[in-house]
A and B are shown apart, each in its own frame.
Chain A
Amino acid sequence: MTSFLTLLRKEILRFWKVGFQTVAAPVLTAMLYLLIFSHVLEDHVRVYDTLPYASFLVPGLVMMSVLQNAFANSSSSLIQAKVMGSIVFILLPPISPFSLFSAYILSSTVRGFAVGVGVLAVTMFFTPLGFTHPAWILVFILLGGAMMGALGILAGLWADKFDQLAAFQNFIIMPLTFLSGVFYSIHSLPAFWQGVSHYNPVFYMIDGFRYGFFGVSDVSPWQSLAVVSVCFLFVAAFALSLLKRGYKLRA
């Protein structure tokens, strides 16, 4: 237990010490998205009839920031340690694969949560938000962070170099998050793309999360919860099995 708690503490301190870059910067980015998109699109996009576009946008931006930062946390921690060689410090001690796994997932979730709360706090100055179902908000912010933390472990283990990780981020994570209804309701899409969006797990994270704020969503929050949970379990099981095998960690 001590080894798990130590690693968790270290992983949280690792991003917290450079919080300007790991927490403040994404908050600023999200704020810029909000200002620009709400300014440009306010009069052009109508979603859920009564909702101002800026209000609709905020939960999407919060969730997007949560997901990207949770992914960045575990993946960059692993790749850095691998490239620098400092990974030996966690390979030499008797830390079980499950402890490694849990510490990386949890620290990623914490970073996602910190960024999410930061984005929420700042954007609340710009646009009114309801908090209709706070429990759903919490469930999706945590589950989304954990899911992306697990995906980050996969990517961090697989990548040997920083550019491979960047490719993973640019070609998989970015499209998944951007094409998930952050900036629009998928009901405004043509039928074909609506159908495609239903295969994107990030869509359910954002949709369920948004339900927590406004009580309206494209699909039922329970369905979103089911999809996200199954995805999380699948990715988590895969990441854990790689850690157990010592994939690219123990030659």
Chain B
Amino acid sequence: MIPAISIRQVTKRYGDLQALAGVDLEINQGEFFGLLGPNGAGKTTLISALAGLVRPDGGSLEVMGHDVHKDYRAARRLLGVVPQELVFDPFFTVREVLRFQAGYFGIRRCDDWIDEILANLDLTAKADSGMRSLSGGMKRRVLVAQALVHRPPVIVLDEPTAGVDVELRQTLWQFIRRLNEEGNTIVLTTHYLEEAEALCGRIAMLKGGRVVSLDSTENLLRKFSAQALRLRLGEGPGLPEALAQVSVQKDKYWSIPFQTYGQIESLLAQVRMAGCVIEDMAVNQPDLEEVFVRVMQQAREGGAS
């Protein structure tokens, strides 16, 4: 099967800044793919290159097998991009904006689909409101709608939930999940790691214009993050030496890693034997934030600038 997105050795330099330093990435059809990285890692540049908004210095990008430069008509028709910036055309109503956007892709009379998108994004009541009068969250929904109006099989969302209320996030993800289940490929960049963790099957992490990690979400969590017992100790003896060596202390909490729940009892027994007073206790689930921090640390130590 042709990959939904195929990126080979893509480089892009802005003056002194190497925004993309040779990115290779292949995303399969039907994937829900996460693109993570700190600010300035090159996520948006990569997406812009894919959308034809930025011309890379080297390498090639394809959408469903169509080169985004040589075969731009096909490539752009197959791609829907939700830009990160909250941009809008102030002169028109929501419905007008969506009709125009469909028209730009050569599609006429698609009001049924527009109505469906509006309903799914909770925008129906705003269909005839001017763009200028919408709140930030509403404008964001329209941006999503604009990206979907030509029914692209590959959908890229660049931080779609930045500064957006909980309600929209729920509605949005419900809709995007449905589109994914119907066979569309979704690529997502986000700062909310719990979102990526909940939604994405595979995750690439970018730093300094390079892919520093690429794996299934499950593997990433297993590799880099373990379950841990979090303890806050009161007055009295400290954590026994044997435990302290394998644990991490942060703020007032000790984080003691374990593999299976069966181990918890023996860990607690050691703590009790040492005479420690437990003030607070919790069990930590593996989480992507920890993975993210570790991968970024490794990338720094590995010399990737």
Name A's B-contacting residues (CB within 8 A).
Answer: 1-3, 5-7, 9-10, 13-14, 17-18, 81, 84-86, 88-96, 246, 250-251
A-B contacts counted at CB < 8 A amount to: 86
Which listed residue, B76, B87, B103, touches A84 by the CB 8 Å rule?
Answer: B87
22 chain-A/chain-B pairs, Cβ below 8 angstroms? A2-B103, A2-B107, A3-B103, A3-B105, A3-B106, A6-B100, A6-B104, A7-B100, A13-B91, A17-B91, A81-B89, A91-B51, A91-B53, A92-B79, A93-B77, A93-B104, A94-B72, A94-B76, A94-B105, A96-B73, A250-B52, A251-B53
Query: Which bucket holds chain B's interface residue count?
Result: 35 or more
Which listed residue, B83, B99, B105, touches A93 by the CB 8 Å rule?
Answer: B105
Q: B residues 25-68 with Cβ under 8 Å of A?
A: 48, 51-55
Q: Which residues of B contact A3 (CB under 8 A)?
A: 103-106
A2 touches B108 (CB 8 A): yes
Which listed residue, A5, A18, A85, A91, touches B91 by the CB 8 Å rule?
Answer: A18
Contact with A along B272-286 (1 / 0, CB 8 A): 000000000000000
Q: Which residues of A contact B85 (CB under 8 A)?
A: 85
B53 touches A86 (CB 8 A): no
Which listed residue, B72, B91, B107, B146, touches A14 by the CB 8 Å rule?
Answer: B91
How far is the CB of A147 from the nearest CB of chain B, in Å? 26
B54 touches A89 (CB 8 A): no
Q: Which residues of B contact A2 (CB under 8 A)?
A: 103, 106-108
Bound-complex Cα distance A251 to B47 (A): 13
Which listed residue, B76, B79, B89, touches A89 by the CB 8 Å rule?
Answer: B89
Q: B residues 181-223 with Cβ under 8 Å of A?
A: none
What are the 8 A-B residue pairs with the smallest beta carbon separation, nearest first?
A6-B103, A85-B87, A93-B104, A94-B73, A94-B76, A2-B106, A86-B89, A251-B54
Bound-complex Cα distance A1 to B105 (A): 10
Q: Is B238 an interface residue (CB 8 A)?
A: no
Which listed residue, A13, A17, A86, A89, touches B104 by the CB 8 Å rule?
Answer: A89
How far is the CB of B73 from the nearest CB of chain A, in Å? 4
B53 touches A88 (CB 8 A): yes
Q: Which residues of A contact B175 (CB under 8 A)?
A: none
Q: Which residues of B contact A6 (CB under 8 A)?
A: 99-100, 103-104
Q: Which residues of B contact A90 (CB under 8 A)?
A: 104
A5 touches B103 (CB 8 A): yes
How far is the CB of B141 from the nearest CB of chain A, in Å? 15
Which listed residue, B54, B74, B76, B92, touches A13 by the CB 8 Å rule?
Answer: B92
Bound-complex Cα distance A213 to B129 (A): 46
Bound-complex Cα distance A89 to B79 (A): 13
How far is the CB of A95 from the nearest CB of chain B, in Å? 6
Q: Which residues of B contact A93 (CB under 8 A)?
A: 76-77, 101, 104-105, 150
B53 touches A10 (CB 8 A): no
Bound-complex Cα distance A14 to B89 (A): 10
How far is the CB of B64 from the nearest CB of chain A, in Å? 14
Q: Which residues of B contact A9 (CB under 8 A)?
A: 100, 103
How far is the CB of B51 from the nearest CB of chain A, in Å? 6
Q: Which residues of B contact A13 (CB under 8 A)?
A: 91-92, 96
A92 touches B106 (CB 8 A): no
B87 touches A88 (CB 8 A): yes
Q: Is B148 an interface residue (CB 8 A)?
A: no
Q: Is B88 an interface residue (CB 8 A)?
A: yes
Q: Which residues of A contact B90 (CB under 8 A)?
A: 84
B76 touches A92 (CB 8 A): yes
Q: Is B10 an interface residue (CB 8 A)?
A: no
Bound-complex Cα distance A17 to B150 (A): 26
B92 touches A92 (CB 8 A): no
How far is the CB of A250 from the nearest CB of chain B, in Å? 6
How far is the CB of A97 from the nearest CB of chain B, in Å? 11
Q: Is B155 an interface residue (CB 8 A)?
A: no
Bound-complex Cα distance A96 to B105 (A): 11
How far is the CB of B104 from the nearest CB of chain A, in Å? 4
Given known pairs A84-B88, A94-B105, the reply for A250 and B77 (CB within 8 Å) is: no
Most central of A7, A18, A86, A95 by chain B CB within 10 Å: A86
How far is the CB of B62 from the nearest CB of chain A, in Å? 15
Q: Is B81 an interface residue (CB 8 A)?
A: yes
How far is the CB of A59 from the nearest CB of chain B, in Å? 32
Q: Which residues of A contact B96 (CB under 8 A)?
A: 13
Bound-complex Cα distance A81 to B87 (A): 9
* Smallest CB gap from B150: residue in A: A93
